[in-house]
Amino acid sequence: MSKFQANDANTANNSAYWVSNFRMGHLFEYGHIGVEPFVGVYNLFDEGYNANVRLNAFGGRYFEPGPERNFYGGLRLRYDFGS
């Protein structure tokens, strides 16, 4: 995301940032059943950034910080009803 102004007077700036995510998993198939375990990381390099900017916000409350680095994992299950 490139730098941009947060108000019409151009006195509040949102700094440029780059956020990277990573996800890895593998699909195991057993007949009509698919099982996919996965793990991932949001904000891989722990970049400080604003996830939401309210343009021309009252009281100078323009910025809502984005989440720090966090990890997740899960299991995706599927069933193929086709022939």
For residue 82, name the pLDDT band (cuts at 50, 70, 90): confident
Instruction: Encode pLDDT of 21-43 as tens digits.
Output: 999 999 999 999 999 999 999 99
Amino acid at 75: L
For residue 69, name the pLDDT band (cuts at 50, 70, 90): very high
Q: What pLDDT is attached to residue 83? A: 63
**What token pair was written down for 29?**
């198939």
What does pTM read for this prediction?
A: 0.73
Q: What pLDDT is attached to residue 8? A: 93
Nearest to 37, CA basis, from 70, 78, 1: 78
